[in-house]
């Protein structure tokens, strides 16, 4: 059966060993427009192939039906009124080929309404030894009550083991997305709006949605610390109002620097709108250079890495003071001659400090902190990794002598560089921090831009 994106499985009942007199669905939610029951059933008796249905335990003569029947060689039709049950499907008799089942599709529209309820059924009985039966029914339940329970049962005997029935709720909304804005995609269960640039999210119905907001990452210093990752925040089950245009802002990554300079902080990302509490993630902290001003903040969603020699400390994360935290601290370098810059903090881990001693040719840039994974895009993606610290490599020794630059954290963090080489940028639309450069004419890595993803159930 093709998947209907507005069709949600409420419950599946599979008959256990020993069989069952009936299959029952109780406490049916009243949040859908229609119900659908898909059955695969066999009986332990050979007298009747009907699978009957009753609603809300009603055994009075409140049901009527018309039917069409065919078995490949003959056909018939008929009707029945003032019945204590309606047709809900078919079941293979015990005389049918072993291990074959009768299969049915039963549809009940407007099950919560105060009108009488109609039932339509399409069923077929498999029998490999003789002709199979095919049947159509149109029934009615003469009741104004909303349907809260369903009973499926044979005229006599029991339903055998391995028989099953699945109850689905069907929504009345169309199959298209229920909002505009961003890049729209879908999974079996959700519509997804991905914003890689600033824009507007406008629902066409009232919605309850989850969203991810990642800010732009900070850039690395030249030479020195890696940039901190942009703030990483999620929110669930939030209300959006039909027709309201919500502003989505995507924070840019901090721009790269060349030569001796502090990095640049990333920009905030946010969702805002009328009657809506603005939801913001903070731009990543900048990477530090030892000759920069101590008054320049390295704090951010995640903190930027400290300068070589520990002259300027790393920045702290969670600048927005959110709970849960939007990010982690950058790494501090030790004060021990020329050493590597610290790694920028990531959403999932702190950056590590630069280490080593230039005189021993073993200085190392700190690694950027790893980011955090999120699956709102439809698959698990890691965002907001910190940038790796640069290694000044003042004496020009190769990495074989123990000198290394820091690696970028998972989730788009850029790697630091050695000597005059350029560092790696943070990855676009991940909020990754840029890598710190080594020295001289080298250029640091820019921070990766942020991203916003909004998803809601079909």
Say whether both 116 and 213 belong to one domain. no
Q: Is residue 196 part of a domain?
A: yes
Q: Is residue 2 part of a domain?
A: no
**Alpha carbon distance 201, 199 (integer Å):** 7
Residue 175 pLDDT grade (very low, low, confident, very high; cuts 50, 70, 90): low
Say whether both 162 and 206 belong to one domain. no
Answer with the one of 135, 150, 170 that is the final residue of a domain: 170
Q: Tell me the pTM.
A: 0.66
What is the arithmetic mean of pLDDT over 15-36?
Answer: 94
What is the arithmetic mean of pLDDT over 219-229?
Answer: 95
Averaged pLDDT of the chain: 91
Q: Is residue 218 part of a domain?
A: yes
Question: Could you tell me the residue range of the domain that residue 128 belongs to?
Answer: 7-170
Say whether both 163 and 27 belong to one domain. yes
pLDDT value, residue 395? 52
pLDDT tens profile 310-369: 889 999 999 999 999 999 999 998 765 567 899 999 999 999 998 876 555 567 899 999
pLDDT value, residue 362? 66
Residue 72 pLDDT grade (very low, low, confident, very high; cuts 50, 70, 90): confident
pLDDT tens profile 106-146: 999 999 999 999 999 999 987 776 667 889 999 999 999 99
Q: Is residue 1 part of a domain?
A: no
What is the arithmetic mean of pLDDT over 32-57?
Answer: 94
Cα 366 from chain centre: 32
Q: Cα-atom radius of gyration of the chain, to the nearest Å? A: 32
What is the arithmetic mean of pLDDT over 179-190?
Answer: 91
Q: How many independent structural domains does the chain possess?
A: 2
CA distance readout (Å), 211 to 104, 312, 390: 39, 36, 34
pLDDT tens profile 357-409: 655 556 789 999 999 999 999 999 999 999 999 987 655 554 545 678 999 99
Say whether both 181 and 160 belong to one domain. no
pLDDT tens profile 259-286: 899 999 999 999 999 989 999 999 999 9
What is the arithmetic mean of pLDDT over 287-291?
Answer: 92
Tokens in use for 422? 């350029």
pLDDT value, residue 278? 97
Say whether both 205 and 349 belong to one domain. yes
Tokens in use for 358? 């230039």
pLDDT value, residue 227? 98
Which helix H or strand E contains 152, and what residues bound it? strand 150-153
What is the arithmetic mean of pLDDT over 176-192?
Answer: 91
pLDDT value, residue 284? 98
pLDDT value, residue 338? 63
Answer with the one of 170, 188, 206 that is the final residue of a domain: 170
DSSP string, 6-61: TEEEEEEEE--TT-BS-EEE-S--S--SEEEEEEEEBBS-SS--EEEEEETT--SS
Answer with the one of 128, 149, 170 that is the final residue of a domain: 170
* pLDDT for residue 233 is more than 90: yes
* pLDDT for residue 451 is more than 70: yes
Q: Is residue 69 part of a domain?
A: yes
Say whether both 133 and 211 belong to one domain. no
pLDDT value, residue 400? 47
Residue 433 pLDDT grade (very low, low, confident, very high; cuts 50, 70, 90): very high
pLDDT value, residue 33? 87
């Amino acid at each position: 059966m093709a998947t209907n994106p507005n069709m949600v499985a409420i419950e599946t009942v599979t008959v256990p060993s020993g069989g069952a007199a009936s299959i029952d669905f109780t406490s049916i939610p009243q949040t859908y427009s229609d119900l659908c029951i898909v059955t695969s059933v066999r009986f332990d008796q050979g007298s009747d192939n009907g699978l009957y249905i009753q609603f809300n335990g009603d055994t009075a003569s409140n049901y009527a039906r018309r039917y069409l029947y065919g078995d490949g060689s003959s056909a018939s039709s008929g009707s029945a009124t003032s019945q204590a049950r309606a047709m809900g499907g078919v079941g293979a008799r015990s005389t049918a080929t072993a291990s074959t089942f009768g299969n049915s599709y039963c549809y009940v529209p407007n099950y919560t309404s105060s009108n009488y309820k109609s039932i339509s059924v399409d069923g077929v009985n498999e029998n490999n030894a003789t002709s199979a039966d095919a049947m159509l029914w149109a029934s009615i339940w003469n009741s104004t009550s909303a349907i809260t329970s369903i009973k499926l049962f044979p005229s006599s005997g029991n339903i055998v083991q391995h028989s099953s029935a699945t109850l689905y709720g069907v929504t009345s909304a169309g199959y298209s997305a229920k909002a505009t804005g961003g890049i729209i995609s879908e999974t079996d269960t959700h519509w997804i709006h991905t914003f890689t640039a600033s824009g507007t999210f406008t629902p066409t119905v009232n919605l309850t949605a989850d969203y991810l907001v990642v800010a732009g990452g900070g850039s690395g210093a030249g030479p020195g610390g890696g940039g901190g990752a942009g703030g990483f925040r999620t929110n669930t089950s939030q209300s959006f109002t039909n027709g309201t245009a919500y502003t989505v802002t995507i924070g840019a990554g901090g721009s790269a620097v060349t030569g001796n300079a502090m990095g640049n902080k990333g920009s905030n990302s946010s969702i805002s709108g009328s009657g809506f509490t603005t939801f913001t993630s903070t731009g990543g902290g900048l990477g530090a250079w030892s000759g920069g001003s101590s008054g320049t903040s390295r704090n951010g969603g995640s903190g930027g890495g400290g300068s070589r020699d520990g002259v300027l400390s790393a920045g702290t994360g969670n600048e927005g003071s959110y709970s849960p935290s939007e990010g982690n601290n950058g790494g501090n370098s030790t004060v021990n001659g020329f050493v590597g810059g610290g790694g920028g903090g990531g959403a999932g881990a702190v950056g590590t400090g630069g280490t080593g001693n230039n005189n021993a040719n073993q200085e190392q840039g700190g690694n950027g902190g790893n980011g955090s994974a999120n699956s709102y895009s439809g698959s698990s993606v890691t965002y907001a990794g910190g940038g790796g610290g640069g290694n000044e490599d003042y004496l020009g020794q190769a990495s074989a002598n123990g000198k290394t630059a820091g690696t970028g954290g998972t989730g788009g963090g850029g790697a630091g560089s050695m000597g005059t080489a350029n560092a790696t940028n943070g990855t676009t639309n991940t909020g990754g921090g840029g890598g710190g450069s080594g020295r001289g004419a080298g250029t640091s890595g820019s921070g990766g831009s942020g991203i916003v993803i909004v998803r809601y159930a079909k």
